[in-house]
C-alpha cells in the first residue's frame, strides 16, 4: 500500500512512525513544506530567553535519522500543490529546485496544521513584526534580537503563545507590553481566574493593555510604533503577532473535501474525510468537544498525537476492520507564567452559558499540600458543573500542584464521573505532596453542597452588579478578623468575625437579603450555616471569597495575593481539622 502524508510535526511524523511499526511493507512518503519534519513548536518561545539554550534541542528528529530508522521516503522543503482525487495523485513541488511531480497514493493523510492569523493591518509587513509558529520564524526572531539588540517588545495577543513569548522577552531583559483586544487574557479561562494571571504578569513588570486593538504600525528608521484603536502609541523595537491561528485547509478545500462549520476539515470518528481514502489530523481538522458535544477547533499537540495514531491504524485497515475511533477532546491545557501555572479542562462558565447549559460554579483557594508542611503554595481552583452533577470543566492556577488537580478532573470528566465522585477519589497523600482532603475532594464537597441546597452561593460578578444597581437591597457581612477587615473589604460591609457571630446576631437584620464573605470562602460557609440555623432565610456565601472578588473587580488593593509570604491560615484545610467546606 502506498501512503502519502502531507505535513510533519506532531500529526504527520507521528502517523508515519506508527504506520511503519504496523507494516514493514507499506510504501510511505512524508512531505513537509518546511525544512524540518518534526520540531517542538511548544518549546519555541523558551529559546528566546535561553531557557532552552540550544536551538537543536527543539528538533525532535532529523530527516536522515527518520529515514534510516523507519525507512520512510522523507521530502522536506516540498510543497503539496493540489490533490487529484480521481487519479489518486498529489502534485508536489520541490521548493529548492522548483521541479513539480505527481505522487500516486492509495491512502492520503493531511496534517497541514494551522497558520497564524495575520489581519490586514497597515504596516504589518514591517521587518520588525514577526509571528512564531515554526523554526524559521524563531530563527528570524533570534536574528533580530542578535543584530538590533532591541530594548522594547510588544506582543499582540494574550493567548498561550503570546504570554509565553512575553515572559521570555521579559526574561531576556526587554521591556515588554502585551496588547489584547478582549477585556481579559486567556480566553479558555473565566474572567476572575484570568485576573490572577494578569496581576501576576504586572507584578513581574510586564505591561498589559486590555480591551484595545491594533489600528496600525508605523515603521520608523530606528523603531516601530504600535498605534492602538484608543489612540495610544507604543514604541517598540520588535513586535510579535500572536492573535491566534486558523486551520490550513487550502489543499483540502480545493480538492473538494468537505469542511465543517468551524472552518476545519470535516472528519468522522475514524478521522477519514469526506473521501474515504483521505484522512486528516491535527490543527486543521474540526473535532467534537467531549463535554458540549459540539464541533470545535482545538489546536493542541496532545490531541494531534492521539489522532495520528488512530488515523494510522485505520488507514492500513479495510473499511470493515477500521475500528479505532477518536472520541473528541476536552481542550485540557496548561501554561507557565513566570512561577505560576494556569491549567484548564472542559468548558468555562462563559462557554456553558453561551451553550445555554444550566450550571453552577464554585471557587476554592486551597493549599498545594498540607499547610503545616513548609513550602505550601495557594491554588485557586474553579469547578463548573451542570445541575445534574455532571462536571463541565475546571480551571486551576497556582505555583505548585495546579497541573495534577486539572489532570485528575480531566480524567474524571473523560470517565463520566460527576461532582459526587470527586469526593470519593482516593488520591496520593503525604504532607509534602498533598492533603488528607485534597483540593479535588474539597471542590467536590463544595459543589455537592451547592447542588443539595445545603450551601447557597453568590459569585463575584452577581454581587458586584447587585451592589451597583441597588446597594441598599442587600446587607453584606465580612466575617474575617478586624485586622483583615481594616486592610481592605467590600464597600458597605459590616465586620462581624465568625467566632463572634452567634453573640452579635442582633446586629444583622433577618428580614433583608444577606451576603457573607471571608477571605477564600470557608469561614463564610461556616457563618452561612450559623445564620441559616438561626432563622436567617435569605443568605448566600461569596464563592471564592474576598480574594476572588478583589482580583476580579479591581476595586480593592490586595498586593501579591498569590505570594507565599505568610503561613497559610487554618481555613485552607489542615489534616485532621473539622471538615470545613464539607
**Averaged pLDDT, groups of 10, the chain, 582 residues long:** 93 94 95 91 94 92 89 95 97 97 97 90 95 95 92 97 98 97 97 97 97 96 96 97 94 97 96 96 95 93 93 81 83 96 98 97 96 94 98 98 98 97 97 95 97 96 95 95 96 96 96 96 97 97 97 62 37 38 50
Q: How far apart are CA 7 and CA 111, in angstroms?
A: 5
Q: Are 484 and 519 a contacting pair, CB within 8 Å?
A: yes
Per-residue CA distances from 408 to 27, 334, 440 (Å) = 41, 13, 8
pTM of the model: 0.92
Catalytic residue among 42, 81, 505, 582: 42
Q: Are 401 and 376 a contacting pair, CB within 8 Å?
A: no
Q: How far apart are CA 410 and CA 395, in angstroms?
A: 10
Per-residue CA distances from 456 to 13, 193, 390, 490 (Å) = 51, 21, 18, 19
Q: Are 517 and 542 a contacting pair, CB within 8 Å?
A: yes
**Set of cell numbers at residue 514:** 444577606
pLDDT (0 to 100) of residue 118: 85
**How far, in whole angstroms, is CA 177 from its chain's centroid?**
21
Per-residue CA distances from 533 to 268, 287, 510, 536, 538 (Å) = 55, 49, 12, 7, 12
Q: How far apart are CA 432 and CA 47, in angstroms?
A: 32
Spell out a b/e string for 544-562, using b for 16 or more CB atoms within 10 Å of the CB, else e. bbbbbbbbbbeeeeeeebb
Dihedrals φ, ψ of 478, to 5°? -90, 115
**Set of cell numbers at residue 357:** 447549559
SS3 35: coil
Q: How far apart are CA 63 and CA 65, in angstroms?
A: 6
- Active site (annotated) includes residue 42: yes
Helix 9-22 and helix 63-70, axial crossing angle in degrees, nearest 10: 20
pLDDT (0 to 100) of residue 317: 84
Four-residue CA torsion sign, 400, 402, 408, 414: negative
SS3 386: strand
pLDDT (0 to 100) of residue 555: 62
SS3 272: strand
pLDDT (0 to 100) of residue 582: 52
Q: How far apart are CA 296 and CA 542, in angstroms?
A: 33
Q: Does residue 218 come out as left (phi exceeding 0), alpha (psi in the -120 to 50 range) or beta? A: beta
pLDDT (0 to 100) of residue 62: 84
Q: How far apart are CA 85 and CA 227, in angstroms?
A: 47
Q: Are 346 and 330 a contacting pair, CB within 8 Å?
A: yes
Amino acid at each position: 500500500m502506498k501512503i502519502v502524508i502531507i505535513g510533519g510535526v506532531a500529526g504527520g511524523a507521528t502517523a508515519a512512525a506508527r504506520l511503519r511499526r504496523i507494516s514493514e511493507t507499506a510504501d510511505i512518503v512524508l512531505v513537509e513544506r518546511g525544512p524540518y519534519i518534526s520540531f517542538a513548536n511548544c518549546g519555541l518561545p523558551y529559546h528566546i530567553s535561553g531557557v532552552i539554550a540550544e536551538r537543536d534541542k527543539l528538533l525532535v528528529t532529523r530527516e536522515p535519522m527518520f529515514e534510516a530508522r523507519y525507512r520512510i521516503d522523507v521530502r522536506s522543503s516540498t510543497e503539496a500543490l493540489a490533490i487529484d482525487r480521481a487519479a489518486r495523485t498529489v502534485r508536489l513541488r520541490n521548493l529548492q529546485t522548483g521541479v513539480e511531480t505527481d505522487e500516486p497514493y492509495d491512502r492520503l493523510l493531511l496534517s497541514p496544521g494551522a497558520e497564524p492569523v495575520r489581519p490586514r493591518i497597515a504596516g504589518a509587513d514591517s521587518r520588525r513584526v514577526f509571528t512564531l509558529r515554526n523554526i524559521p520564524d524563531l530563527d528570524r526572531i533570534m536574528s533580530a534580537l542578535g543584530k538590533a539588540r532591541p530594548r522594547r517588545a510588544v506582543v499582540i495577543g494574550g493567548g498561550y503563545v503570546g504570554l509565553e513569548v512575553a515572559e521570555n522577552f521579559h526574561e531576556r531583559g526587554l521591556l515588554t507590553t502585551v496588547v489584547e483586544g478582549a477585556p481579559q487574557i486567556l480566553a479558555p479561562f473565566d474572567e476572575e481566574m484570568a485576573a490572577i494571571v494578569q496581576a501576576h504578569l504586572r507584578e513581574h513588570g510586564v505591561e498589559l493593555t486590555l480591551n484595545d486593538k491594533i489600528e496600525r504600525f508605523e515603521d520608523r528608521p530606528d523603531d516601530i510604533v504600535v498605534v492602538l484603536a484608543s489612540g495610544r502609541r507604543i514604541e517598540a523595537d520588535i513586535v510579535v503577532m500572536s492573535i491566534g491561528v486558523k486551520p490550513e485547509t487550502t489543499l483540502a478545500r480545493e480538492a473538494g473535501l468537505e469542511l465543517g462549520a468551524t472552518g476545519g476539515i470535516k472528519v468522522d470518528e475514524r478521522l477519514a474525510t469526506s473521501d474515504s481514502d483521505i484522512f486528516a489530523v491535527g490543527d486543521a481538522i474540526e473535532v467534537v468537544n467531549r463535554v458540549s458535544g459540539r464541533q470545535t477547533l482545538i489546536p493542541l499537540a496532545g490531541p494531534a498525537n492521539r489522532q495520528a495514531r488512530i488515523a494510522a491504524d485505520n488507514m492500513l485497515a479495510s473499511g470493515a476492520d477500521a475500528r479505532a475511533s477518536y472520541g473528541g477532546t476536552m481542550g485540557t491545557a496548561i501554561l507557565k507564567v513566570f512561577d505560576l501555572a494556569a491549567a484548564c479542562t472542559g468548558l468555562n462558565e462563559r462557554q456553558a452559558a453561551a451553550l445555554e447549559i444550566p450550571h453552577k460554579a464554585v471557587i476554592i483557594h486551597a493549599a498545594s499540600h498540607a499547610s503545616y508542611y513548609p513550602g505550601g503554595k495557594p491554588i485557586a481552583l474553579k469547578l463548573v458543573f451542570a445541575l445534574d452533577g455532571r462536571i463541565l470543566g475546571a480551571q486551576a492556577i497556582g505555583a505548585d500542584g495546579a497541573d495534577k488537580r486539572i489532570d485528575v478532573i480531566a480524567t474524571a470528566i473523560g470517565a463520566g464521573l460527576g461532582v459526587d465522585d470527586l469526593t470519593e477519589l482516593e488520591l496520593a497523600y503525604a504532607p509534602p505532596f498533598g492533603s488528607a482532603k485534597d483540593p479535588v475532594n474539597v471542590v467536590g464537597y463544595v459543589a455537592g453542597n451547592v447542588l443539595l441546597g445545603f450551601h447557597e452561593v453568590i459569585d463575584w460578578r452577581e454581587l458586584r452588579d447587585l451592589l451597583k444597581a441597588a446597594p441598599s437591597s442587600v446587607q453584606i457581612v465580612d466575617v474575617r478578623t478586624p485586622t483583615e477587615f481594616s486592610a481592605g473589604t467590600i464597600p458597605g460591609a459590616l465586620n462581624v468575625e465568625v467566632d463572634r457571630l452567634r453573640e452579635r446576631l442582633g446586629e444583622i437584620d433577618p428580614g433583608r437579603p444577606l451576603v457573607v464573605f471571608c477571605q477564600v470562602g470557608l469561614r463564610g460557609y461556616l457563618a452561612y450555616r450559623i445564620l441559616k440555623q438561626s432563622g436567617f432565610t435569605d443568605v448566600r456565601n461569596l464563592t471564592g471569597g474576598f480574594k476572588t472578588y478583589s482580583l476580579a473587580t479591581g476595586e480593592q488593593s490586595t498586593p501579591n495575593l498569590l505570594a507565599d509570604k505568610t503561613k497559610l491560615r487554618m481555613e485552607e484545610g489542615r489534616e485532621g481539622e473539622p471538615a470545613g467546606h464539607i
